[in-house]
Amino acid sequence: MDQHLHSLVPVEALIDDLQRHLGTVYPPQVSFLAAGEYSLNFLVAYEGREVVARCVTGSQMEMSPTDQITYEAHALELLGASGRTPHFFSLEVEPKQIVYPFMILEYLPGKPLNYRTDLEEAARCMAAIHQLRAPEDHRLAVHDDPAPPLLDEAWSLAKPYLDWEDAPAGSSEALRKLFDVVESGLSDEDDPFAGANLSIVNTDLNSHNFVVHEGQVSLLDWERARVGPAVQDLAHFLIPTTTLWRDDTSTRLSDADEDLFVNVYLSERPELDRAHFISQLREMKRLATLRAVSWCAWLIQATATGKRPISNPETLANSQTFLTPDFLGELSSTRT
**For the segment 10-50, what is each residue's pLDDT rounded down to a tens digit?**
999 999 999 999 999 999 999 999 998 899 999 999 999 99
Q: What is the mean pLDDT of residues 141-155?
A: 92
Instruction: Give the percent of the chain with pLDDT over 90.
Output: 79
Q: What is the mean pLDDT of residues 154-170?
A: 95
Using DSSP, state whether 90 is helix, strand or coil: strand
98: which residues sit within 8 A by CB, 6+ positions away?
Answer: 9, 10, 13, 14, 17, 55
CATH number for 3-106 (one of 3.40.50.1980, 3.40.640.10, 3.30.1360.20, 3.30.200.20): it is 3.30.200.20
pLDDT tens-digit readout, 123-144:
999 999 999 999 999 999 999 9
Give the pLDDT confidence score for residue 201 in this predicted structure.
98
CATH number of 115-333: 3.90.1200.10
Higher pLDDT, 298 or 250: 298
Residue 188: pLDDT over 90 = no
191: which residues sit within 8 A by CB, 6+ positions away?
Answer: 145
Query: 220-234, 298-312, 316-330 — which is least confidently predicted?
Result: 298-312
pLDDT tens-digit readout, 247-274:
667 889 999 999 999 999 999 999 999 9
Q: What is the mean pLDDT of residues 239-254?
A: 86
Measured distance CA(295)–CA(153) in Å, rounded: 9
pLDDT band at 6 (very low <50, low <70, confident <90, very high): low
Give the pLDDT confidence score for residue 309 in this predicted structure.
77
Query: Which part of the chain is CATH 3.90.1200.10?
Result: 115-333
Give the pLDDT confidence score for residue 158 in this predicted structure.
97
Q: State which H helix or E strand residue 275 sits in.
A: helix 274-304
The pTM for the full model equals: 0.91
Q: What is the mean pLDDT of residues 224-237?
A: 96
Neighbours of 247 (CB within 10 A): 9
Give the pLDDT confidence score for residue 313 in this predicted structure.
83
Task: Give the CA distances from residue 88 to residues 53, 98, 113, in Å, rounded to whole numbers and listed in that order.
Answer: 10, 21, 22
Give the pLDDT confidence score for residue 185 in this predicted structure.
80
Average pLDDT of the chain is 93
Query: Which part of the chain is CATH 3.30.200.20?
Result: 3-106
